Structures are given as C-alpha cells and as structure tokens.
Amino acid sequence: MQLKRLLTLRTVVATSAGLTLASSCFLAAVQVAGYVLGDSAWIAILIGGSLCLLSAACFSELNGLLPSAAGIRLYFSRAFNEQISLVISIFYMLIVVIGVIGAESYILSRILSESFPAIPPYGWIILLLLAVTGMNVRGVKIAGTFQDIITYGLVVSLVVMALIALYRVDFQLTAPLNPGGTEGLINAIAIGIFLYVGFEWVTPLAEEVTKVPLVSRGMFLALGVLSVVYAVFTVAMTASVPKEMLTNSAIPQMIFARTALGDAGAVWMVVFSLAATITTFNAGLMNVSRFMYAGAREHVLPAVLSRISPRFFTPWVAILALLGIALAVSAIVLLTHRYMLLVEMAAAVESIVYALAGLAVISLRRRMADCERPFRIKGGLLVPLLTFIVFAVLAVAVMLENRLVFAGLLAGALVCWAYVKTMVPYLKEKHRSRRSANRRRPARLKGQ
C-alpha cells in the first residue's frame, strides 16, 4: 500500500512555511536583534533568508533527482554512504523535533499561564497535539487544507499587526545599514537561521504531491514570504519596545503586543500563538511521520512504523509515535526551562545539514552524472560549494558561542551512531530472516 498524491503547490508552501512560522520564532528574532545595532536586525534576517535560498536550491536538485519520503536519508546515502546518512538523518530528525516542539511548548505554556492561570499549560499542549494527530491520521488532505487556512491567516495577521505598530510609534529607521561588528552580525545570521528551521522538511512529501517540481517551488516561495514577514515584524517589535525588555523575556511577542496595541493586542497575540503552535505541530507531524515511515519501509527503523491506514492512506503508527515523543519532550522542557539551548542546537544542526546538502549535490553530480534532473542549479558547482562554506561557518559560530550546544550535539551524535551500529544491523537481519522464512513456508506446504 502506498501514499496518495493529493497535495498542491498551495499546501506545499503552507507546509514549508508552517513548520517555521512558530511562536518560538519571535524568541529567535529578538535574539537576532540583540546581536546588532539600531533597527538593523532586518539585515541579518534577510541575509539568513537569502542564504537559505542557497540551501533550498540544493534541496530542490536533490529532491528532483531522488523524490522520496526518505528525504535527506536517501540523498546522503547516495552521496556519501549508508551509515553516515543514517546517523545524520536520525540525528537531524531528533534534534529538529525536540528543538522545535520543545521550544514551542515552553513558550506557549508561558503565554497561556499568563492569560489563563487556572488552566495547567500542559493540558493545552495535550489537547493541541491530540487534535493535530487526529487530523493527520484522518488524511493528508484534511491536514493540508487545515495547514493552508491557518498558515496564510497567520502571515496576513503578522503583517497587519506590524504595520499598525509601526504607524502608532511614527516609525523612522535608526542606523538601518549599520549592524555593528562582524562577529555580532555573524552570530545574528546564525541564530536567524532558526527562523527558517524546517522549511526543507517538505521534501518527505515528495510521494504525496501531484507533481514533484512543486516541492522546489514551494520551498522558494515559502522562504520569500517568511523573509519579508520576519524582517517587518522584528523591526516593529524593536521599534515599539526597548531591546533589553524583549531579549530578557521568553515571550517577547506578548510584551510587544500589549505595549503596541494594548489589551486587544494581547488577546490577538494569544490567539496567534495558539494558531502558530498548531501549524508547527501539524507540519511537523505531516513531514517527520513520512520520514519515519520511509525509514521503517527500508528497515532502518522498527517495521511497525511503516504501517499505513487502509482507510485513510496515512502512516498512522508513525504519527502516533511522534505524538508520544512530542508529549514527552514538552513535559521535559516545561520542567527544565532549557528552551534557548534547544533553539541554538536546532540552528546549529540546520546549518550542518544545509552544508552537507551542498556537498551532496557536488557528490551526486559525479556519481549520478547521467541521471535526469528536473531541477538543476545553474552556474556549475558555485552554489553548492558556497552553500557548504557559508553554513559550515555558521554552524561553527553557534557552537563556539555556546559550548553547551557543542556538548549536546556531540552527545546526540554519539547516541545516533550507537543506534546505527547496533540496532540497524539487527533490524535488517530480522527482515532478511522473515523473508527467508516466508520463502521456505510455501515450499514446505507444497511438500506436505
């Protein structure tokens, strides 16, 4: 049984943008603003978006060459080797899921506890995750339509809120082209990458889009929209509220909304945050569950994760497994308050994977030179080589800025390496044994 091709460009854009358009993006935005002078945060944000266009070009070529729900696992397997691809892809999945869901859950809990102190914040998270899980199990078309409505509504809402705030403060740019020192700008760009974290996770939907090239177009459009929206909204926040107040808060968007728009703005932002969290959880379940399904189908994850609902044609076991992980991660982060560490770890891992995507394009240009490419980056190897260099530098910058990020990534990589060295051979051998037993069984029945 296979997945069904139902998704259009509208849903691809909404899914690519929806995973990144989260409540935690405001936290990253004010951190970006804290690294640069004046109102120049928009420079770092637009540079970050432009750099992500480089990686989007690399993912577009890879996805066109190897359109699969396996996504980066298949790209890196063909470009490097099986073990490296497994370690990177499993590590990537875990860190992005933990980082995005963990930070999002923490921030939402702070917003809701401030607005509804009588209701346990974790209860809201459980309800949201259950609702999104139900939609995903019922079918990708339902989840995709929901994603369209909420994501586009959020984009319009952010722009309108920012323009109202800028009008009320009689905004004028202060040192718009002077971000300060090079080190501060580099760190701002590196953290700014988190604003776009997960845009490429739309590639695992390659087996469910009506046409494979839609994935490439969707990523480019999503990055363009997000770059403009983030830049405008960040400038509006820092123009309305002193940076110090924003950077010292886990919920800067609430401070901004209340300062700029009063109680009505606070209510508006609560509704926005709820909707943003829903789109993040929804897009995460849609994309990562397909990756898990593909891994199980290829016997690198437990086989049960490859089961598809005969009624809805969705990988329901993988979706439910993600629900369990999300609930556990949310609870841990609410207890430990280590949300910023997750943001920085996710930004570093994104940069590492984007750098490797550039290397993968270079490798596959040689290894699969004669294969058809629906999307081919122009300019020879310039773009993939530039992608590798730029994102490798950004990854190092994040890890040097916070040594705990390096320690956390190293520990996670070692765990994933141990899994690949021990569990993957076991799962593959178990599959081979089952196939051999199935072949022998008809022979014995015939002999009887």
Number of domains in the chain: 1
Judge whether 341 and 27 are in contact, CB under 8 Å: no
Task: Encode 53-74: b = buried (16+ Cβ within 10 Å), e = exposed.
Answer: bbbbbbbbbbbbbbbbbbbbbb
What is the reported pLDDT for 174?
A: 64
CATH number of the domain within which 74 lies: 1.20.1740.10
Question: Facing residues of 209 across strands?
Answer: 7
Is 292 a member of any domain? yes
Is 187 a member of any domain? yes
What is the reported pLDDT for 414?
A: 92
Is 3 a member of any domain? no
Tell me which H or E stretch contains 261: helix 252-297
3-state class (DSSP) for residue 39: coil
Cα 85 from Cα 78, distance rounded (Å): 8
What letter does residue 2 receive in the DSSP assignment? -
Which of 222, 229, 333, 343 is CA-nearest to residue 287? Answer: 222
Is 366 a member of any domain? yes
What is the reported pLDDT for 389?
A: 93
What is the reported pLDDT for 173?
A: 66
Cα 242 from Cα 264, distance rounded (Å): 21
Is 446 a member of any domain? no
Is 448 a member of any domain? no
Encode the chain (448 residues) as per-residue pLDDT tens digits. Answer: 455 666 778 888 887 887 777 777 887 788 888 887 767 788 888 888 888 899 999 999 998 888 876 778 888 989 998 888 888 888 887 777 777 777 777 777 778 777 777 778 788 778 878 887 887 777 655 555 766 787 888 889 889 999 998 888 887 766 666 666 777 788 788 777 778 877 887 787 777 777 877 888 888 999 999 999 999 988 888 888 888 888 888 788 888 888 888 888 888 888 888 877 777 777 677 767 877 887 888 888 888 888 888 877 778 888 888 888 888 888 888 887 777 777 778 778 888 988 999 999 999 999 998 888 888 998 889 999 999 998 898 888 878 878 888 888 888 889 989 999 999 888 888 888 887 777 766 555 555 5
Cα 116 from Cα 121, distance rounded (Å): 8
What is the reported pLDDT for 78?
A: 92
Is 227 a member of any domain? yes
Q: How far is CA 70 from the centre of its chain?
A: 15
The range of the structural domain enclosing residue 226 comes to 10-441
Cα 275 from Cα 132, distance rounded (Å): 11
What is the reported pLDDT for 384?
A: 94
What sign for the dihedral angle of Cα 231, 232, 236, 239? positive
What is the reported pLDDT for 366?
A: 92
What is the reported pLDDT for 431?
A: 80
The counts of H helices and E strands in the chain are 15, 0
Is 73 a member of any domain? yes
Cα 158 from Cα 169, distance rounded (Å): 17
